[in-house]
Amino acid sequence: MDRVQIAKRLGRPLVLVGLMGAGKTSIGRRVADRLGWRFRDSDHEVEEAAGRSVSEIFADFGEAAFRDGERRVIARLLEEPGHCVIALGGGAFIHDETRALIKDKALSVWLKADIDTLMERVSRRDTRPLLQTDDPRAVMETLLAERGPVYAEADIHVTSPDATHEGAVLAILEAMAERVEAQG
């Protein structure tokens, strides 16, 4: 049986965590396609539930309200029947209650990337509320320093390359297969 077939037997959702620009959505879609699973992006799901963009939610209600809605959406996604890959917004895994829920219900993967790769990727769009500042690189460096130890609590760590995502996809599938094999 190949690694994809073994990984499909995981029996839990797969949740991708990491900083904005790490490739959670792009890599998550590819992993879901390989597995034949559904893909969900928590930021998109929050926007659908709220009827407004993440930037608008931050501006109108603040980060605390956004995080509360985000937690509820993630809880719903983790309870959906069938298999899925969920890409989280960069701050979701940082919150204790959300992280505990993910640890209980899913297999988490930290997609890591170096600061230059992250900055190159996030500079392509201006929709990141936390980067609406005079020095977005300083913000990203601070976020990496603060969030890195929490992201390190994820079950699996994979480096998101600056070129193709295929290496990260294969590393995730391999780690999933190893988990399934270890479960017996």
- Mean of the per-residue pLDDT values for the chain? 86
pTM over 0.85, yes/no:
yes
- Residue 78 belongs to a domain: yes
* 28 is known to lie in a ligand binding site: no
* 38 is known to lie in a ligand binding site: no
- Residue 184 belongs to a domain: no
More confident residue, 64 or 41: 41
Structure token pair of residue 4: 């994809």
* 21 is known to lie in a ligand binding site: yes
- Residue 56 belongs to a domain: yes
* 51 is known to lie in a ligand binding site: no
pLDDT at 120: 76
* 24 is known to lie in a ligand binding site: yes
Q: For 132-148, how does the pLDDT look when each residue is reduced to its tens digit (9 = 90+)?
A: 666 778 888 888 899 99
- Residue 18 belongs to a domain: yes
Number of domain units in the chain: 1
Q: Which of 4-8, 71-75, 163-167 has the lowest mean pLDDT?
A: 163-167
Residues 6+ apart with CB under 8 A from 147: 19, 90, 91, 93, 94
* 43 is known to lie in a ligand binding site: yes
- Residue 183 belongs to a domain: no
**Alpha-carbon span 182 to 184, nearest angstrom:** 5
Residue with tokens 């479960």: 183
Alpha helical stretches, state H, the chain: 3-7, 24-35, 42-50, 54-61, 63-79, 96-105, 115-122, 136-151, 166-183
Which CATH number characterizes residue 106's domain?
Answer: 3.40.50.300
* 67 is known to lie in a ligand binding site: yes
* 26 is known to lie in a ligand binding site: yes
Closest CA to 82 of 13, 29, 34, 24: 13
Question: Is the predicted pLDDT of residue 130 greater than 80, yes or no?
Answer: no
pLDDT at 113: 86
Domain extent at residue 113: 3-178
Question: Is the predicted pLDDT of residue 33 greater than 60, yes or no?
Answer: yes
**Alpha-carbon span 11 to 145, nearest angstrom:** 33
- Residue 82 belongs to a domain: yes
pLDDT at 121: 67
CA angle (47, 71, 158) in 5-degree steps = 90
pLDDT at 35: 93
Helix 24-35 vs helix 166-183: angle between axes, to the nearest 10 degrees?
Answer: 60
